[in-house]
Chains A and B, each alone.
Chain A
Amino acid sequence: MAPYPEQAELSGREFWTLSFLGLLMFFGAWSVLALSGLMPSMFLPTPWAVAERAVELTFHPFAGYTIQVHLISSIGRFLLGFGLAAAIGVPLGLAMGWFRWLDAAVTPLLEAVRFVAPIAWVPFAALWFGTGIGGPTLIIFTGAFPPALINAYRGARFVEPRLIEAARTLGAGNWRIIVEVLLPASVPSIVAGLRISAGLGWQSLIGAELIVASSGIGYLMVKGQSSISTTTVMSGMIAIGAVGFAIDVLLRRLQRRIEAASGIGE
């Protein structure tokens, strides 16, 4: 039993009813405010006007392309930046978890850079890598890299010492210990890290596209803003949310599958 009534478990039905009510109130308040005329409809369109615009954007090109093409362009950039972050972050994290000297050499640098938010990299990224593919990729990378690295590192550091000792007494060298012991033992931690990494990468991507890009969902939103089309901007926001959610669901499923396959919790 929960110690306070406020903390009591909700039944599934109660949960869904309350979730639905919450959403209903939000859209209700939005609709009422939009219809009341207190705010000009140019800035606060009704929910259905946004929905209509979102559908229209799927066949009516805006800022050069339809919304799907903008999305595909964004997802491509995202995959590139996120892929690079995972491909560098995970092996480096594992290696730092094994070699103390590498940990000592790299950690201060990472700590120094960590507080420079991805969005703060935008001007630099644009200067160095341009507004084509390089700049946005770097920005996504800066968002996605730290969790990929940190979780691999933590996973490697918290591997049961006796497994490492067993491997060493069986004659395994550094390479085999990293690949055959640290990596498989850290898989749950790594996948959890990649989930965070993907979320942050996707969020940084939009930030990047707001400034450097000539296509993509962020670019579509900037163009929508400059033509004072609030419905377009909001459509973009919905698309970002939906894709971000889809990425997380996919990775969560992958995480569950991996956890089941590696027999964790048994």
Chain B
Amino acid sequence: MSNIIFRQVSRQFEHGGKLFPALAEFDLEVRDREFVAIVGPSGCGKTTCLRLAAGLDFPSGGSVSVGGVEVRGPGPERAVVFQQFALFPWKTVADNIEFGLKSKGLSAAERQARIARQLELMGLAGYETAFPHQLSGGMQQRVAIARAYVLDPMVLLMDEPFGALDAQTRTLMQEELVRLSRVNPRTVLFITHAVEEAVYLADRVVVMTRRPGRIREIIDVRSVREAEGWDRVERIEEVMDQESFVHLRTGIWKLLREQQT
């Protein structure tokens, strides 16, 4: 079971001797092979959720478990894709992708095979020996996603992975991610502030409240998507034109607008 369970999670940060609650009474299960997107106003603690699942941060109360095991630190079974890519600038594309594989005790031949397969899948073939700074932002993020996918992780944690990309690249990457997650379904926790992105990508969308972050509502997108047959529509703009899509998006927008005042 590759699920993520947040049980009554809270997290406070201390600043200048005062405690600031970032997350409160946070209960969520990301089920096996489910794609869950968290949206919310900035500072609502959505990135904190992801960091807790990644083991880069720890809850002040409650517990976070992945695959039935409480998270006690970072590990390659919980791969993270960061907004700013976080590629190693001194390593080539292939070496960046290999970095995590080296912790898994695979043979060199097996590592090479996996890297080749991943490069192919992400449209990176031919860029093995390039350095990150020689690639565009979109290509860099592909490398970062490949670096996560190649580990065959239990769960994927994505922190606004397309936030630093221009609009066109972003659209392409979203389509790509949908394609990827249909070919190879994963348990994904996806953080974003872009509502359309969340509705397009996710099975369920979690809407959070302002600080301290609580769950305002969880919207089931998957049942609508399947009923309306979005997956048969190839292009993102056509999906976004569907009445059912617009309806869901507007509903989430309204929930977020409530938070503004």
Contacts and interface: CB of A to CB of B under 8 A. Distances in A.
A169 B56 contact: yes
Contacts of A180: 88, 99
Nearest to B153: A169
A162 to B, nearest CB: 4
B100 A165 contact: no
Interface in A219-251: none
A181 B100 CA distance: 13
B108 to A, nearest CB: 16
Contacts of A160: 86
A173 B76 CA distance: 11
Interface stretch (B12-20, B29-37, B77-85, B239-247): B77-85
B54 interface: yes
A185 B91 CA distance: 11
B137 interface: no
Interface string B62-77: 0000000000011110
Contacts of A47: none
Nearest to A185: B90
Contact of B86 (A162, A184, A187, A263): A162
A33 interface: no
Contacts of B100: 170-171
Contact of B133 (A167, A184, A263): A263
B147 A170 contact: yes
B89 A262 contact: yes
A172 B99 contact: yes
A173 to B, nearest CB: 8
B127 interface: no
A171 to B, nearest CB: 3
Nearest to A263: B133
A184 B88 contact: yes
A170 B90 contact: no
Interface string A159-178: 01011011111111100100
A166 B151 CA distance: 13
Contact of A171 (B54, B86, B90, B104): B104
Given A263-B133, A266-B133, A169 B54 contact: yes
B253 interface: no
A160 B99 CA distance: 17
B103 interface: yes
A170 B78 CA distance: 8
A171 B89 contact: no
A221 B50 CA distance: 67
A163 B87 CA distance: 7
Nearest to B131: A263
19 contacts: A162-B82, A162-B84, A165-B74, A166-B87, A167-B99, A168-B73, A169-B55, A169-B78, A169-B80, A170-B79, A171-B74, A171-B100, A171-B104, A172-B99, A176-B103, A180-B99, A181-B88, A187-B90, A263-B89
Interface of B: 54-56, 73-76, 78-80, 82, 84, 86-90, 99-100, 102-104, 131, 133, 147, 151
Given A169-B78, A176-B102, 17 more contacts: A165-B86, A166-B80, A166-B82, A166-B86, A166-B87, A168-B74, A169-B74, A169-B79, A170-B76, A170-B147, A170-B151, A176-B103, A180-B88, A180-B99, A184-B88, A263-B90, A266-B133
